[in-house]
Chains A and B, each alone.
Chain A
Amino acid sequence: MSIAPAFRTAATQATFVDITVDGRSLRVVADSTLAAALLAAGIDRFGPGLAPGQTMQPFCLMGTCFQCIATIDGIAHQRTCRVVVRAGMDVRLAGALPG
């Protein structure tokens, strides 16, 4: 789900790259981590968790919690907080479901 982003970018000399998230094209700040890019785009939940009603989304942002995982270019369980965006990156958000 996408609403008004909870964050604004304060990047001083931003350049942009295009990525694809669940089939939708998205322009994001280059040199940003994927987790940060998605948050900046207003994507604030990355999929369902295992408990009823639970959602998964970035929490620790330092590679510890695995709450921000996504399938990137076909490889499942990637921590989006550890991955820097690349032009053409294909991202699938599935949460705790098999990616």
Chain B
Amino acid sequence: MSAEPRVVIVGAGPAGANAALALAAAGVRSIVIDDNPRAGGQIFRVGPNDAIGPVKPDPRGVRLRARLAERADMIEHRAGHEVIGATPERRLTVAPPDGPVVSLDADALVIATGAVEVSVPVPGWTLPGVFGLGGLQILLKQSALVPDRPVVLGGTGPLLYLVAAQMVKTGARLAAVVDAADWPSPRHLLGLAAMPKLLRQGIGHLLALKRAGVPIHRRAAIAAIDGADGVAAVRIARLRPDWSAESAPDATIACGIVGVGFGVRPNVELTGLIGCAHLYDPATGGWVVRRDEDLATSIPGVYAIGDGAAIGGVENALAEGTIVAASILRRLGRPTPAGLVDRATGARRRKTRRTRFRAAINGWSGLRDGIFTLAAFDTIVCRCEGVTRAAIESAAASGFDELRAAKLHSRAGMGLCQGRVCGDAAARIVAHAAGVAVEAAGMPRARLPLRPVAFSNVAAPKS
């Protein structure tokens, strides 16, 4: 290994990119590995051509990409590369877009892998025309596709209203918005006011929906999606305080496209694979990474930042990028420029504000486990392997009360996506059937390789 330390950052979203930029400013090189073709993560996602669509790219994302390009001397951005394996010794296995996998050793490893949308299986959710809320937004942002059939959006949280407002703005026919949460209470609004700009944006989205006359159903969920070979209608059920259905669905709304999303959780597959300690904290997304003040995980030299560690939003991700850069400079015994010290201190100080905002978001719209009882016994929960709720429950009832065992028994979560889509639901179904708390069922874990790789690219002969 050369005298120069090697810093590897996984993820080029706001957290990872900002960490790389702060390190570059302090004279430390880094390699940023990202599975997307362009930097910015999901929040600042754009297509290959910025100008393609009706939704203007977020200027913060445009700036971030420009700054990364300016610092190409210090930051090696490996776009379209996927980390498929990692060890506690900080050795990564990386799959490039084509060709054999490569091995990469890091002196400091920063995991900034972002969030995953939480999916809730309901009857009919595997029909063509049903998308994740984030997915519908990506079609719009990245490929300029606007739904040409009536749309119903369901789920909870800020993304629901953002996507709804974007649908209205781009001329999609939005038939209804179905929110599991109630209106934010005065106490929640007070917390949301900790980030006035975001609160204003949210109110703006709501007003846009009002102006367009879009009906908003509250304390309700899309409990079933009907159609023979594509979406024809959704059925809406009122929810109890725990978000289980109060009664059979009582309203039917005709539509051709459905978008559903119940907030986000940290993508902890890489920290899980390495063996970092995690803890269960529903307020920041469920299974989150245990970290100290320096954002270091329980494994020496491994840091976790942004929504990939614990859900905190984009402002928090940017701040943690700055903070982790200062931590890494200390670890490497490098001087920390005064500017970075100030910015890291400022970022820590503003944390209180962000935490208050996040707590209010969670108090208002945080996932409640009753929602996972909407799946019928014959509803497919694991889409990859075609496993139903009944099959998972029978595995749990035969004594496999730990998620890992129930997974091996039922094959739920054993498919190509490794449980990234069904893991949240499968864990609740197992815990519910076995009568244990969801954290007792264990953290969903992905296995090596994290993504499928062609055998020829792993077993390539040594040249």
Residues of A bordering B, CB below 8 Å? 1, 3-14, 29, 31-33, 36-37, 39-40, 44-45, 49-51, 54-67, 69, 75, 77, 81-82, 84, 96
Contact = CB atoms under 8 A, between A and B. Distances in A.
B146 A8 contact: yes
Given A6-B257, A82-B35, A54 B52 contact: no
A61 B138 contact: yes
Interface string B232-262: 0000000000000000000000001100000
Contacts of A29: 143-144
B388 interface: yes
A50 B386 contact: yes
Nearest to B52: A11
B355 interface: no
Given A60-B134, A63-B35, A49 B126 contact: yes
B149 interface: yes
A59 to B, nearest CB: 6
Chain B at the A interface: SS class: loop
B131 A33 contact: no
Given A1-B229, A49-B126, A54-B380, A6 B149 contact: yes
Interface in B417-463: 417, 420-421, 452, 454
Given A44-B129, A45-B128, A57-B128, A62 B135 contact: yes
A62 B128 contact: no
Contacts of A77: 416, 452
Interface of B: 35-37, 42, 45, 47-49, 51-54, 116-117, 126-132, 134-136, 138-140, 142-149, 170-171, 229-230, 256-257, 380, 383-388, 415-417, 420-421, 452, 454
Contacts of A75: 454
26 contacts: A6-B256, A6-B257, A10-B144, A11-B144, A31-B47, A32-B52, A32-B145, A51-B388, A54-B126, A54-B383, A55-B126, A56-B383, A58-B135, A59-B132, A59-B421, A60-B132, A60-B134, A61-B134, A62-B135, A63-B35, A64-B117, A65-B383, A65-B421, A66-B416, A67-B384, A96-B384
Contacts of A7: 139, 145-148
